[in-house]
Amino acid sequence: MVTIDLKYTLICIVLVALIALLIYLVLLVRSLLPTIKKVDKLLDDASVVTGVATGAVNQVDGIVNNLGGAINDVGNSVRGNPNFVGAVSNIAKAVTSTVSYFNASDQDDFYAEEARRQRKQNR
């Protein structure tokens, strides 16, 4: 007569289930690797797009600040403030910034032109 120990049988069943679970986990991780690589590329592209957008926003912010100063100076001139030369100067800076923004073939060209203009103005 053959006797089967219940404790030993349960241990064998649990071990087989653990081995099956381990194989399933290995296959799951193997199938997720290409997805993780695609997500990594997507995040890299998103960081590049964010950097470009930040640069453009900073350029536009500078242009808007120059235009705001120019409009404020023109308003003060119209009200009788004799700072007409300052108003014309700010309008010229705003127009120059706008033109250089649209004419710049590269963002570095725009920043270099802005830096040259600031150095010239500070002299």
Q: Residue 96: which pLDDT band, with cuts at 50, 70 and 90?
A: confident
SS3 (DSSP) at 120: helix
Q: What is the pTM of this model?
A: 0.41
**Could you read off the pLDDT of 16-65 as tens digits, one per residue?**
999 999 999 999 999 999 999 999 998 888 888 888 778 777 877 877 78
**Could you read off the pLDDT of 100-119 as tens digits, one per residue?**
777 765 666 666 666 677 66
User: The tokens 């381990």 sit on which residue?
Assistant: 22
pLDDT of 82 higher than 70? no
SS3 (DSSP) at 81: coil
